[in-house]
Structure 1
Amino acid sequence: MTWAAIGAYAVYLLVAFVARTVIQVRRTGDSGFRGLGGRVGSVEWSAGILFAVALVVGFAAPVAGLFGLPPIARFDHLGLNVVGLLIAAGGIALTLAAQLRMGSEWRIGVDVTEQTSLVTDGLFRFVRNPIFTAMSLTALGLTLMVPNAVAVAGLACLVAALQLQVRVVEEPYLRALHGPEYAHYEASTGRFLPGIGKSAGARGRVAA
């Protein structure tokens, strides 16, 4: 299953980053990459660094397995490995579907001076951040495929990075840019899971 995890991770990188960037450049002439935000050491900057670390550690996990790092015994079962493969495959497919639905609005990172449209249909009807949900599913699946300590650390880094990116960087930007439209969306749609993470504050802003 270790080699399968390496293959799945390679497909994930190609689909979620390389292919999507190529599509964006062909459609718009712009890569959509906005890089790290915030000053060095800030929460925004830390979110970007954690995300980069998660990508590196995620690949390092199956490689460490090849070099003899043992899996965590309680999770080292073929059945869980297969479930992980299925979850990872589903996560990759959902990542691409959500990215494509964003169309020309797709970005990696945030430029606070930029005007973008708010996407609320497709997978975005169910959760506000379906790309990040799908990425988390992919990482969970890969961790179950090669359940060693490095994989768990990579999953933890990714979850922390996405939480920081959404809560500290993207949501404030979208609130400022889209005002009542985003407040309504935020009050009615879960953050990462359907129905979970709706904003009570946003409901108040909508009512006002």
Structure 2
Amino acid sequence: MTPLAAKLLHGLCMVAWWVIRRPFERKTQRNVISHDAMDIREKLLLAVSFAGLGVIPFIYIATGFPRSLNQDFSPLRAVFGLALFVAALALFYATHKALGRNWSVTLKVREEHALVTQGVYRFVRHPMYTAFWMWAIAQALTLQNWLAGFAGIIGFGTLYLFRVGREEALMRATFGADWDAYAARTPRVVPLTRPGRG
């Protein structure tokens, strides 16, 4: 494994992420929205996350900038990072499949929205966030540059920190006691941890 191979394979995984998501975006476009929490805060959080997981690593992969922040390259770290990214892609696909038409990029509730508790949702309440955390960690391992590598953790971490509580409040308002019962037995992001904030 060379630094160039690690960059190219990481970029390929980024493309695969979009390829997985695109068909689900098309399926949900016709759904009628009953509540949409897209506001300036949500747009800013999405932009910060996209910069950290998309824009900054793309610039690094394409140009090598900023080379001055490169770390000593470890092939083993890169291989582990790529394996983690592939696992994230598998979880990402399983999450979309379980959600079906209930999925959306932003905080939206659709007419006839269902509380999904099957598939990967048996193990965590937010497997999509789990997959994004895996991607962010994989990026830090594969793109061994202090800026490009850690931009994903900072970018997605910012979105997660300021969004997950708001999303859970929306789920509680929509599903009431069913959500509370589900949240009481299911960890938030990390499987096999204590339910609640997990």
Q: Same fold (TM over 0.5)?
A: yes
Aligned partners of 1:105 and 1:117 also within 8 Å: yes
Alpha-carbon distance, 1:61 to partner: 3.5
CA–CA separation in structure 1 for the residues paired with 2:117 and 2:181:
11
CA–CA separation in structure 2 for the residues paired with 1:62 and 1:78:
16
Aligned partners of 1:21 and 1:32 also within 8 Å: no
AA paired with 1:8? H
Aligned partners of 2:25 and 2:104 also within 8 Å: no
Q: Percent identity?
A: 23
What's the CA shift string for 1:109-164, capped at 9, x where partnerless? 02357552111111111111111111211221122111212221232111221232
CA–CA separation in structure 2 for the residues paired with 1:148 and 1:49:
21
- Within the candidate set 11, 14, 25, 1:12 is matched to 14
Q: 1:31 to 1:88 in 2, by over 3 A?
A: farther
CA–CA separation in structure 2 for the residues paired with 1:156 and 1:28:
29
CA RMSD of superposed structures (Å): 3.0
- Within the candidate set 80, 84, 87, 2:84 is matched to 87
- Within the candidate set 38, 48, 51, 2:49 is matched to 51
Q: 1:35 to 1:28 in 2, by over 3 A?
A: closer
What is the TM-score with the length of structure 2 in the denominator?
0.81
Matched, 1:161 2:159: yes
Aligned partners of 2:46 and 2:159 also within 8 Å: yes
Q: Which secondary structure does the structure 2 equivalent of 1:91 belong to?
A: helix
Aligned partners of 1:3 and 1:62 also within 8 Å: no
Q: How many residues are paired up?
A: 192
Aligned partners of 1:84 and 1:140 also within 8 Å: yes
Q: Which secondary structure does the structure 2 equivalent of 1:159 belong to?
A: helix
Q: 1:65 to 1:91 in 2, by over 3 A?
A: same
AA paired with 2:129? F
Aligned partners of 1:92 and 1:134 also within 8 Å: yes
Aligned partners of 1:24 and 1:30 also within 8 Å: no
CA–CA separation in structure 2 for the residues paired with 1:183 and 1:17:
32
CA–CA separation in structure 2 for the residues paired with 1:20 and 1:113:
18
Counterpart mapping for 1:1-40 below 5 A: 1-13=3-15, 15-25=16-26, 27=27, 30=30, 37-38=38-39, 40=40
CA–CA separation in structure 2 for the residues paired with 1:32 and 1:4:
42
Alpha-carbon distance, 1:8 to partner: 2.9
Structure 1: which 5+ residue stretches go unaligned? 201-208
Matched, 1:149 2:149: no
Alpha-carbon distance, 1:103 to partner: 1.0
Aligned partners of 2:136 and 2:150 also within 8 Å: no
What's the CA shift string for 1:159-201, capped at 9, x where partnerless? 2212322122x1111010000000011111111102446338x
CA–CA separation in structure 2 for the residues paired with 1:129 and 1:94:
11
